[in-house]
Structure 1
Amino acid sequence: MRRLRPGELDADQRALYEEIVSGPRGTGPRLFALTDDAGGLEGPFNAMLLRPALGHALQALGAAIRYRGALPDRCREIAILVVAAVWDSAFERHAHEAVGRAAGLADEELRALRAGDHAALAGERERLVADTARALADRGDLTGEEYARARDALGEDGVFELTTLVGYYATLALQLRVFRVAAPGEDGPAREDGPARGGGPA
């Protein structure tokens, strides 16, 4: 997808653009770039401009997950990076490894999350969050035993938050894949000839 520039946006697109760059993502610590040098939105945000009514709702959900959720910062970033690993989403990995470092994740923990090795995480609760997020991203469900463990550790409200988080970041990973959005400095994934591959996460 072509990067949309601020000067070519219509009124609805411009309102969404301002909401993104002036909201908590833009006014808090800048751990990854929201815009390129010409002001175009990075990552999944550029595609949100295609349908501003949906883009407003989608970016607001993401802001609620990141800034108004109850999961500890490390747990939240662990879960996001698990989704990035399942979907092999380079932009999500790039952005949220930076956020994860700021939340206290060590480089060895980030490498382990890339490889799907949750045993390297420091705490039992964090390992449970990673395992639960992996089950949700891989299978779209939890067994009775997995649900009970997650409920006992996080509460039912925590399970709701975690399922919302996984669903949101899986949606972004899907859009990043379809629109071939790369991490800064990388090429996007190639589009294969012939029928699309079945299934979701790689």
Structure 2
Amino acid sequence: MTGDPTARQRQPRLRPEDLDPAQLTLYRSITTGSRRDGPFPLTDADGVLQGPFGGFLLAPAVGDALQQLGAAIRYRTSLTPRMRELAILAVAAHHHSAFERYAHEAVGRTVGLTEEELEAIRDGRPVPLDDEPEAAVVALTRSLLAGDVDEAQWERWQPVVGVSVVFELVALVGYYSTLALQLRVLRTDRTPR
């Protein structure tokens, strides 16, 4: 079950006025942090956090650690914005995550991904990329999602991007896979209305 708008949501809709102090601190950190000016709204009209962020409020200590990891992956890696969004969208496609696809296609467009590239990554097809490091990121991300990077993939792509980028991709794939699982299990994997 992914992206089913008729599925009963298992996660409570936590409005700002319903939050305890720890939840409110995390809520403010998310809504006033680096994500606030992004290409998709973080909250709905009632102030309820959308996507995985609402789930973070269920256990603020873990949710805060997750949101800090996400911010590091989004804003403090050596990946270019295009590389990062290609990798995130490969994770979204692999997990059939409607919200991740919705949010990161919007971000991807702002960093220059074309509709042809977005469609190819969404469909799991080869992405028409002339940039070798971007092609390496897509290939490595897809290998990670399949469970490992074999020796042929390693020998082909690691010299293009370096071992530190491979490490960053491992963290990115793990983080966005965690979000996809959270969205699916809590039945919140849907695009905003």
**Taking structure 1 as the reference length, what is the TM-score of the superposition?**
0.87
Please tell me whether the aligned partners of residues 83 and 137 of structure 2 are also in contact (alpha carbons under 8 angstroms). Answer: yes
Q: Deviations over 1:35-80 (max 9, x none)?
A: 0001000000000101000011000000001011110110100000
Residue 28 of structure 2 corresponds to: 18
Q: Deviations over 1:3-44 (max 9, x none)?
A: 111001000000100110111001xx3201100001000000
From the superposition, tell whether residues 35 and 119 of structure 1 become closer, same or farther in structure 2 (CA, over 3 Å).
closer
For 2:157 and 2:165, the matched residues in 1 are separated by: 8
Alignment of 1:25-174 (within 5 A): 25-26=35-36, 29-139=37-147, 141-174=148-181
Aligned-pair CA distance for 1:149: 2.7
State the AA in 2 paired with 1:152: P
Residue 189 of structure 1 corresponds to: none
Number of corresponding residues: 182
Please tell me whether the aligned partners of residues 52 and 183 of structure 2 are also in contact (alpha carbons under 8 angstroms). Answer: yes
Q: Percent identity?
A: 52
For 2:126 and 2:41, the matched residues in 1 are separated by: 28
For 1:57 and 1:92, the matched residues in 2 are separated by: 19
* RMSD over equivalenced CA pairs, Å: 1.1
Please tell me whether the aligned partners of residues 74 and 104 of structure 1 are also in contact (alpha carbons under 8 angstroms). Answer: yes
Q: Which has the higher contact order (CA 8 A, sep 6+)?
A: 2
Decide which moves more: 175-184 or 36-45. Answer: 175-184
Unaligned runs of 5+ in 2: 1-10
Please tell me whether the aligned partners of residues 78 and 130 of structure 1 are also in contact (alpha carbons under 8 angstroms). Answer: yes
DSSP-derived class of the 2:162 partner: helix
**Taking structure 2 as the reference length, what is the TM-score of the superposition?**
0.91
Match of 1:4 among 5, 8, 14: 14
From the superposition, tell whether residues 41 and 119 of structure 1 become closer, same or farther in structure 2 (CA, over 3 Å).
closer
DSSP-derived class of the 2:113 partner: coil
Structure 1 stretches of 4+ with a deviation exceeding 3 A read: none
